[in-house]
């Protein structure tokens, strides 16, 4: 059978991995897909690199716009990244009736609604398994494997860099800045780590999963995002003493009034499987009303794990490209005319449990003042302990875990507690999820 002809835009890490895996496993992939899948043209600004990776076995060009218009190409793989030229190329490819496979979470988180609408108009597939959690087939699980369910929530470790840093901080008791340097040295973090450590990358991914889970539009711009750069090693230690691990989770929940969509460091019971996902690994926990909790674990980044997801999409597109759209899995899991606009709740309205750490003067009555304020805000305490900080003197750390409460109540309580003369320094607030 005639091979599917693929145009690859960008032959960096993932592009090179995709090229290598498609070549190495060509026979096995064709036995599954029913026909060969071949990269017939590669576009990259760095033609030298493209020549090295492909060994000159396919056409090379530095003009990606020529590739997306090329009548000899059936599918475009977009691995350029970013919002700029990648957006233009994807829209041009769609305009020319090409199917698109992309790993670009930033692009879809920001312009997904526009891109999916354009694709629908032209009746082409836009596949993006590689955009979330690398090689883990989580988009497929959400869009196809769990279709029976009303999805209740998703909580995912979906950024390997930050999970690596948090694992090292916990295991070695080191501060964030030091571990970040090590991660950069080892290649787990980029020279400018902002996208990863500030939670933006995780925000892109959870925004896409949230839309798919709830049949909602993509709402990255309304997500609450807090990274790990301000996380202190002492809180990891205290959390551990209370039986919790701290993970940077992307969380989305369906609530009666709307959808919670947030990324932040989160205390998770240490006995949960997801709390034991270490190093640069990813894992996504999905709660459905019928199936209960299911978890998906694997490598969330890297050349070949991401290539695995890109190629799975190529096989899907190869099977489905000649069908009508009614036979295809809808972009956001729900039929386009059944996607609705559920509101994303402001962070002040989310409901979760909290970890609070306060540095206080070691005086009688301090605790009474604090607990009175919490009670006024209808916040009830689940656990509490007090520790002398390392520097000693007449100060103590009070650590509290609250029961579930609305974030605005905690905001108000923290503001009031902060005015107490016996409370010294900043009040640390982290969120806690039991993930039951």
Give the residue numbers marked as catalytic. Answer: 205
Q: How far is the CB of 316 from a copy of itself (least distance, A)?
A: 7
Q: How far is the CB of 176 from a copy of itself (least distance, A)?
A: 25
Helix locations, 83-137, DSSP H: 85-95, 105-122
SS3 258: strand
DSSP code of residue 345: P
77, 90, 236, 315: which one contacts a copy of itself (CB under 8 A)? Answer: 315
15, 193, 203, 305: which one contacts a copy of itself (CB under 8 A)? Answer: 305
Residues 245-274 that bind a copy of itself (CB under 8 A): 273
User: What burial letters (b/e) apply to 304-315, b meaning 16+ CB within 10 Å?
Assistant: bbbbbbbbbbbb
For tokens 């956001």, the residue is: 332
Indicate the helix (H) or strand (E) that contains 9: strand 4-9
**Signed CA dihedral, 204, 207, 209, 215: sign only:** negative
- 49-57, 111-119, 288-296, 408-416 -> range binding a copy of itself (CB under 8 A): 288-296
Distance CA 190, CA 184 (A): 6
Q: Provide the phi-psi class of 356: left if phi over 0, else alpha when psi is between -120 and 50, else beta.
A: beta
57, 118, 320, 381: which one contacts a copy of itself (CB under 8 A)? Answer: 320
Encoding tokens for residue 374? Answer: 């919490």
Pairing label, strands 59-61, 292-299:
unpaired
Q: How far is the CB of 337 from a copy of itself (least distance, A)?
A: 9
Nearer to a copy of itself, 146 or 202 (CB): 146
Angle between helix 13-24 and helix 26-33 axes, rounded to 10 deg: 80
328 touches a copy of itself by CB under 8 A: yes
DSSP code of residue 342: P
C-beta separation of 261 from 207 below 8 A: yes
319 touches a copy of itself by CB under 8 A: yes
- 168-176, 317-325, 399-407, 419-427 -> range binding a copy of itself (CB under 8 A): 317-325
296 touches a copy of itself by CB under 8 A: yes
227 touches a copy of itself by CB under 8 A: no
Q: How many of the other CB atoms lie within 10 Å of CB of 59?
A: 17
Counting Cα atoms < 13 Å in the Cβ hemisphere of 147 gives: 10
64, 158, 307, 401: which one contacts a copy of itself (CB under 8 A)? Answer: 307
Nearer to a copy of itself, 336 or 346 (CB): 336
Q: Tell me, by CB under 8 A, how many residues bind a copy of itself.
A: 64
Q: Which residues contact 275 (CB under 8 A, 6 or more apart)?
A: 244, 245, 247, 268, 269
Nearer to a copy of itself, 144 or 376 (CB): 144
Q: How far is the CB of 9 from a copy of itself (least distance, A)?
A: 19
Residues 126-145 that bind a copy of itself (CB under 8 A): 129, 134-137, 140-141, 144-145
Q: How far is the CB of 30 from a copy of itself (least distance, A)?
A: 8
Nearer to a copy of itself, 147 or 434 (CB): 147
103, 259, 310, 417: which one contacts a copy of itself (CB under 8 A)? Answer: 310
156, 160, 250, 330: which one contacts a copy of itself (CB under 8 A)? Answer: 330
341 touches a copy of itself by CB under 8 A: no
C-beta separation of 130 from 249 below 8 A: no
316 touches a copy of itself by CB under 8 A: yes
C-beta separation of 107 from 204 below 8 A: no
Distance CA 258, CA 280 (A): 32
21 touches a copy of itself by CB under 8 A: yes
Backbone angles phi, psi at 299, to 5 degrees: -80, 130
User: Which residues form the interface with a copy of itself (CB under 8 A)?
Assistant: 17, 21-22, 24-25, 28-29, 31-34, 129, 134-137, 140-141, 144-150, 215, 273, 276-277, 288-299, 304-305, 307-312, 315-316, 319-320, 322-323, 326-330, 333-335, 338
């Amino acid at each position: 059978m005639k091979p599917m002809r693929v145009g690859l835009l960008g032959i960096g890490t993932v592009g090179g991995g995709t090229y290598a895996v498609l070549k190495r496993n060509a026979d096995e992939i064709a036995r599954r897909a029913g026909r060969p899948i071949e990269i017939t043209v590669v576009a990259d600004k760095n033609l030298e690199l493209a020549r090295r990776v492909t060994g000159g076995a396919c056409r090379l060009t530095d003009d990606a716009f020529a590739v997306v218009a090329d009548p000899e190409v059936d599918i475009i793989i977009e691995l350029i990244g970013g919002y700029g030229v990648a957006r233009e190329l994807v829209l041009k490819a769609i305009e020319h009736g090409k199917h698109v496979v992309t790993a670009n979470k930033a692009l879809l988180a920001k312009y997904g609604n526009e891109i999916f609408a354009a694709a629908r108009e032209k009746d082409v597939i836009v596949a993006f398994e590689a955009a979330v959690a690398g090689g883990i087939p989580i988009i497929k699980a959400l869009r196809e494997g769990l279709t029976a369910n009303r999805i209740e929530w998703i909580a995912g470790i979906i950024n390997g860099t930050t999970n690596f840093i948090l694992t090292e901080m916990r295991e070695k008791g080191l501060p964030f800045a030091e571990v970040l340097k090590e991660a950069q040295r080892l290649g787990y973090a980029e020279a400018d780590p902002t996208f990863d450590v500030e939670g933006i990358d995780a925000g892109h991914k959870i925004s896409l999963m949230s839309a798919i889970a709830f049949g909602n539009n993509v709402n990255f711009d309304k997500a609450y995002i807090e990274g790990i750069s301000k996380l202190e090693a002492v809180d990891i230690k205290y959390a551990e003493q209370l039986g919790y691990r701290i993970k940077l989770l992307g969380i989305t929940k369906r609530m009666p009034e709307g959808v919670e969509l947030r990324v932040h460091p989160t205390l998770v019971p240490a006995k949960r499987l997801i709390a034991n996902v270490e190093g640069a690994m990813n894992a996504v926990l999905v709660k459905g009303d019928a199936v209960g909790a299911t978890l998906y674990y694997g490598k969330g980044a890297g050349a070949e794990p991401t290539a695995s997801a890109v190629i799975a999409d190529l096989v899907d597109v190869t099977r489905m490209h000649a069908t009508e759209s009614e036979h295809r899995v809808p972009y956001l899991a729900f039929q386009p005319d059944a996607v609705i606009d559920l509101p994303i709740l402001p962070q002040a309205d989310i409901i979760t449990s909290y970890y609070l750490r306060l540095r206080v003067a070691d005086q009688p009555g301090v605790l009474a003042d604090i607990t009175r304020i919490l009670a006024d805000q209808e916040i009830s305490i689940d656990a509490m302990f007090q520790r002398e900080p390392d520097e000693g003197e007449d100060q103590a750390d009070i650590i509290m875990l609250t029961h579930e409460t609305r974030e605005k109540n905690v905001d108000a309580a923290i503001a009031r507690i902060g005015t107490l003369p016996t409370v010294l320094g900043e009040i640390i607030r982290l969120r806690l999820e039991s993930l039951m």
